Structure 1
Amino acid sequence: MEFHSSTLPVHSPPGNLDDLTPENRKLWSDLKISKWMEDEINATGENAEGPCGQPRTKLSQFFDGTITPFEAGQDGATVTWTAFPGIIQRKYAGNDELRWAIADYSRMVQDEYCEWSVARDQDNKIQSVTFTCEGPEYWQFIADYQDGVDGKTITDLYNKLMPGNDIEKKDLYIKDEKTGETVYNPLNFFNITSTTGYIAHLTHPANSLSAEVDIAAQATVRRIDKDGHPITDSSKLINCSKYGQPLRNSDPSIGSAINNLANGGNAISLKDPVALYMNSWDPSIKNVTLDEVPITQIPGLITFTRGQMPEGLRFTIQIPEGYKSPDGTPRTVSDIWDDNTSQSISYGAQFTDYLNMSVSAVVIGNYPLGGLERCPCEVAKEKKAADDGKNLHKIVKGTPPRGPGPIKPGFRKHRYQI
């Protein structure tokens, strides 16, 4: 097959969603994705200063596909990780009940670019669980540029995804006390709670599209330790480059995979459409069943409302209307049985043990390697030590010699003197 290099006309919206007009698709590409990428490449804007106050250098092995020609039709390299929070998994390993409960409790611990909300009935049985991996910047962009255009509003979108709530604009907007303007509130009631089953987009401070771009870009920097040895271990690499949280499942996986591509002589970018995605189910999901039928084989039980795997963005798990159990008894999500753990479903987090998240990279092969760089915080520490040494030398050199001075009556020269 013959391949041809070309540039992308625009960076598409996440999952090729149809929320935006053609004009706003171009704005999304220019103001968000390309702006983030160019700031990373040129070490400008918020990316001018790196970890520990060290200046970032320009990136030679990261590119913006709307500017640099590449083979846009390539499959790309996909990086996957488990959606359950790695930090919670490690801290409470061996106690599934506790880790699931903690992960369900607050969106502020759901930090693997996947968040969810659980709705329960009066008997504490799960009625539905809705998951999302949509970046907050995209929804903020809709509110800023698309709201009210061609009759489409962000309120309509909320009501479409959360039917029966009669959501009004006042429910989603707040007054900016500094400017006096009415602005979109990403932490509105319908998007922040973990106990309603309602969710629109990600809210955890680390779960953003700009963070994805930053990790991918900075992972193209080839690192060496103080002895000049290449750093390739995923944990050592992320601790060196400081582009994410080392105990998550996501950040070290993304960084290591991108860095391996860079070391292999490739220039790298993120595959269009740039987003975090729900990629696939782990094969062992076949043992998660309702009335002995795998849940992935029951029509309407898992419903994607934004995107589809491998580019899934939002889905809901609930018992489909009209579902008939063999014995005629009404079912809830809590009636789903997990044969892998020999437990029924009591927490939404149980599903994330089987959910694979992903990002995908594209490359330009046979590309010149960038320079090898030290860990910025190690360099900062060495500079500080050197500066402290110089200052001490100046003080010592410029201070006249002094004797011990007279010993005051009643005081010993040394506290250990006898």
Structure 2
Amino acid sequence: MTMTKFDTPAYQGEKDFQNQPDKLKEQFLASWSNYVNYCTINSQMGNPWTSLYDHPRSWYYDPLVTPVIPASSNTVPIQWTAFPNRINHYFQGLFSHTFGEDATDKLHELADIGPDAFSQKYNITLDVPANPCDPNNTQTKSFGPKGPRGWQDEYCEWSVTRDENGNITAVDFTHENPEYWFHLWRVSPDLVLSLYQEILSQPNIKLEDLYLYDANNNPVIVRETGKPAYNPINKWNSGSATTGLSGGAIHLTSPPNSLGAEIYLGLLPLF
């Protein structure tokens, strides 16, 4: 048998819309399934223009088209390390030489506060190869990806709350893809607002805080809906430090941490 639709992760859509009109819920669930199907088809296509042997990806199927019954013979456990492994890859040796026994703690601190703050605090340059696939290329570039939490790029991001003495009092982790929230916003911005307030325990969050603004500080209007666009790195979902005025981790924000990238990378050819 074939699947009829793609469900939301952990059936979260059913939970988020449990107190909403059925029409809104069905609209959201249908939109979500269509988008996941698009990502699946795109990943099956691969990249025949710039990646050798990446098309077609005939070993992957679309469960909305191809019948399949999961069994022990065709499934494997998912293995995943949430810590940004590129930090270990690029800086473990450097930090062992520079910080000695504190190297592991410093790697964790880098993942926490980010390369800019870490470089300034310890007066250290965090450059990486410009082309890691070419060992003869000696050019370097700043460690990235860029963005308020760009360095947290293993599909897990977090934001830390500290007291006046710098002690950690709470850590918010998220591995929710941003597309889920874009779809939520398209159906009901008010629901997005209420979820922000609930998840972050911040009843003072306003709908306007979540708008995308242009250079003149005017809300960017989506032509399709006539309503303000959603800003995925608004002040309540930005950076790795949480205060009473800003910060928090609602969903992923690092450029590589998108649903399309997750599905696409999961289908890379094993050559």
TM-score scaled by length of structure 1: 0.46
Contact 2:159 2:240 in 1 (8 A): yes
1:210-257, CA deviations, whole angstroms, 9 ceiling, x for partnerless residues? 1111112233xx6xxxxxxxx4xxxxxxxxxxxxxxxxxxxxxxxxxx
Name the residue aligned to 2:167. Answer: 125
Q: Matched residue of 1:104: which SS? A: helix
- 8 A contact 1:83–1:112 mirrored in 2: yes
TM-score (norm 2): 0.69
Q: Does 1:14 align with 2:64?
A: no
Query: Relative to structure 1, is the Cα distance of residues 145 and 164 closer, same or farther in structure 2, using a 3 angstrom cutoff?
Result: closer
Q: Does 1:105 align with 2:155?
A: no
Equivalent positions of 1:259-408 (< 5 A) are none
Q: 1:161 aligns with which of 185, 199, 205?
A: 199
Kept after mapping to 1: 8 A contact 2:4/2:64: yes
Kindly indicate whether the alpha-carbon contact (under 8 Å) linking 2:88 and 2:107 is maintained by their aligned counterparts in 1: yes
Higher RCO, 1 vs 2 (CA within 8 Å, ≥6 residues apart)? 1
Once the two structures are superposed, residues 119-172 of structure 1 have per-residue CA deviations (whole angstroms, 9 ceiling, x without a partner) of: 101100101011110001111111112435xxxx10001001011341111000
Of residues 111, 133, 136, the one that matches 2:178 is: 136
Deviation sequence 1:280-306 (CA, Å, 0-9, x none):
xxxxxxxxxxxxxxxxxxxxxxxxxxx
Q: Is the 8 A contact 1:114 1:133 kept in 2?
A: yes
Cα distance change of structure 1 residues 87 and 40 upon mapping to structure 2, 3 Å threshold: closer
Q: What secondary structure sits across from 1:218 in the alignment?
A: coil
1:181 Cα offset (Å): 5.1
Distance 1:12 1:193, change over 3 A: same
Shift of 1:187: 0.4
CA separation of 1:209/1:178 partners in 2, compared to 1, >3 Å: closer, same or farther?
closer
Residues 217 and 82 from structure 1, CA distance in 2 versus in 1: closer, same or farther, beyond 3 angstroms?
closer
Larger proportion of strand: 1
Do the aligned residues in 2 keep the contact of 1:117 with 1:131 (CA within 8 Å)? yes
Whole-angstrom CA distance in 1 between matches of 2:49 and 2:233: 29
2:257 to 202, 207, 210: 207
What displacement does 1:87 show?
A: 1.3
Query: Which blocks of at least 5 consecutive residues in structure 2 are unaligned?
Result: 18-24, 97-102, 115-148, 213-218
Tell whether the 8 Å contact from 2:31 to 2:183 is kept in structure 1 after alignment: no
After TM superposition, the structure 1 = structure 2 runs for residues 29-68 of structure 1, keeping only pairs within 5 Å, are: 29-30=33-34, 32-41=35-44, 43=45, 49-51=48-50, 57-68=55-66
Change (3 A) 1:59 1:205: same
Q: Give the aligned partner of residue 78 of structure 1.
A: 77
Q: What 5-or-longer segments of structure 1 have no aligned partner?
A: 1-5, 223-230, 232-418
Residue of structure 1 equivalent to 2:133: none
- Cα distance per residue 1:23-49 (max 9 Å; x no partner): 32122111x1111112233x3xxx555
Q: Is the 8 A contact 1:8 1:72 kept in 2?
A: no
> Where does residue 31 of structure 2 map in the other structure?
27
- CA displacement 1:184-206 (0-9 Å, x = unmatched): 00000110121106210000001
Secondary structure of the residue aligned to 1:182 is coil
Deviations 1:279-333 (CA, angstroms, capped at 9, x unpaired): xxxxxxxxxxxxxxxxxxxxxxxxxxxxxxxxxxxxxxxxxxxxxxxxxxxxxxx
Cα distance, 1:79 vs structure 2 = 2.5
- 1:36 is matched by which residue type in structure 2? C
SS at match of 2:78: strand
- The number of aligned residues is 206
* Larger CA Rg, structure 1 vs 2: 1
Task: Tell me the distance in 1 between the aligned counterparts of 2:222 and 2:189.
Answer: 22
